[in-house]
Every structure is written in structure tokens, then in C-alpha cells.
Amino acid sequence: MNTIRTHERAIAFCAVLAETANVGRACVAVGIGRSTAYEWREADEDFAAMWDRALKVGVTALEDEAKRRAFEGVNKPVVFKGQFTYLYDEVLDDEGNVVRDESGFAKQKPVLDEHGNHKMATVKEYSDTLAIVLLKAHDEKYRDNSKLELSGHLALGSMTDDEIRAELAAFAALGIVPPTNDNDDISDLL
């Protein structure tokens, strides 16, 4: 694998990164491994800046697509009994009347798309999940996370082992530290 960085390869890498927001795909496009890409980034500030700009463009495009899917929706094919459902129109005669078969049913013809292919029935689906994620990204009041800021001083030197364990258990209950048990060695805290 050729790992020599040239201006052309750097430009090509960043072009794919801007299009996909995917480092792995950008690496494949220019024939390098991920570690090589990160080595290039580390060694060249200009390349790192190009990378950052390209990634920002790519992520913005991803956000735009997420917004489109969330608010404009996506057409999904209608499936009935494991089969796609296709669209049909009634056949009309020259006077605009429905043409019927010998059983009295309206004759039907396939609805074709612009390429002449039989058109599938679709239903527009919107992504509530994407809408929620977008709201959370832009307004703190919609976020699930909460922040716990602790300050102060805990004088472990003047505490007994049982008092230290009790404090650790309280912190563990809040999710600040992993749970401990009575057999854990806490000597490194003293």
C-alpha cells in the first residue's frame, strides 16, 4: 500500500471525507490505512485543518439529511403478504369511460415511472427519533442528560475505612464511581 502523502492524495481524501463524513471510506478512496491517515494528520497542520473543514462539511450534510428525513419524510414501499404492492390505473376508452372486462370489473394497466418501470405503492414515513435527536442537539431543555458538578474537599486521612466505604457507596449510588464491596482494597485512597 502506497503511504506517501501528496497534495493530490490529501485533496482526494478530504473530498471523500466532505462527501461521506467517513474516515474509513476516505482512506479506501486514496488507498491508505486509517493509521496512515492519522499519521498524516499528526505530521501536517495544513492537512489537519483541511481534514477538520472537510469533516465539518460532511457532518453538516448528514445533519441536513437527518432534517429532511425527520421533517419531509421518506417514501417506503408498501408490502403486503411479503410482496411489494404496485400501482394500477383504470383503462379508459377514447371518451374517458372506464373499460370493463367480461366479468364487469374495470380493466387496469400498470402505472409507470419516468423510466417505464412499474411504480410501487409507497407510504411517507417520518422519523420521530431523528426529530428528537435534532431537538436535543440544539436546545438543552430537550436533552436527557443531567450534569452533576462536585466541588469541595474530602479529607480521607481523617476518615475510617468504614466512613470511606460509606462515601464511596454514596458516590456509586449517584453513578459517579463504580460500585465497591467490603473486600475492595481502599488503601490507595488513604
- Give me the pLDDT at residue 2, please: 65
Residues 9-34: tens digit of each pLDDT? 999 999 999 999 999 999 999 999 99
Confidence band of 188 (pLDDT split at 50, 70, 90):
low
Residues 91-125: tens digit of each pLDDT? 999 999 999 999 999 999 999 999 999 999 999 99
Residue 174 is classified by DSSP as: T
> Residue 37: which of 86, 3, 1, 87 has the closest Cα?
3
Q: Where are the domains of the chain?
A: 7-66, 156-189
The residue type found at 145 is N
- For the CA atoms of 55, 19, 74, 114, the dihedral, rounded to the nearest 10 degrees, stands at 170
The reply to whether the predicted model has a pTM over 0.85 is no
- Give me the pLDDT at residue 180, please: 67
- Give me the pLDDT at residue 134, please: 82
- Give me the pLDDT at residue 60, please: 93
CA distance 30 to 43: 18
- Give me the pLDDT at residue 169, please: 82
- Give me the pLDDT at residue 100, please: 95
> Residue 148: which of 165, 171, 180 has the closest Cα?
171
